[in-house]
Amino acid sequence: MADALIPLEAVKKFVRVTHNDDDDLLQLLLDGAVSWAQQQLDLPQKALPMIPTETDDGTVAVLAPAVKLAILVHVQAHFDTPDPKDRDASVAFATRQLETFAARGV
C-alpha cells in the first residue's frame, strides 16, 4: 500500500539515496511510517487522507501533502539521523504536521 501512495523512488530522492543497497530497509521504514501516520490520525488500517488534484488526465486523488511530508520526515529520521535528539526533533516535527492536518484538514 505504501508504495502506491509514496513510491520508493520518491523516498530515496527525499533521503538523498542514489543506490539500491538500502531499498529493503527504506521500504520497511516507509511501511512503518505509513502505519505510524494512520495511528496518529486515528485512521483504520490502509486508510490515509487523499485530496483531489487536477492533472492533464483529469482529477486524481493524491496523498494530502502534509501527511506525505510527515511520512517522509519520519522515514528520514529513522534512516539517517544517528543523534537521538535530532531524530526525536524530526519525529516531533512530523507529528506536528499530522496534528495540524487533523485540526485543519490541510
Per-residue model confidence (pLDDT) at position 106: 55
Per-residue model confidence (pLDDT) at position 29: 97
Span 98-106, average pLDDT: 84
What confidence tens digit (pLDDT) does each residue in 54-74 have? 878 888 888 889 999 999 999
- Residue ranges and CATH numbers for the domains of the chain are 2-104 (1.10.3230)
Kindly report the average pLDDT of the chain as a whole number. 89
CA neighbor of 4 nearest in space, from 56, 48, 37: 48
How far is it, in rounded angstroms, from Cα 69 to Cα 94?
7
Per-residue model confidence (pLDDT) at position 1: 43
Tell me whether residue 70 is exposed, middle or buried, using C-beta atoms within 10 angstroms of its C-beta: 0 to 12, 13 to 18, 19 or more.
buried
More confident residue, 6 or 43: 6
Per-residue model confidence (pLDDT) at position 99: 92
More confident residue, 43 or 22: 22
Residue found under cell 544517528 = 82
Categorize the per-residue pLDDT at 2 as very low, low, confident or very high, splitting at 50, 70 and 90. very low
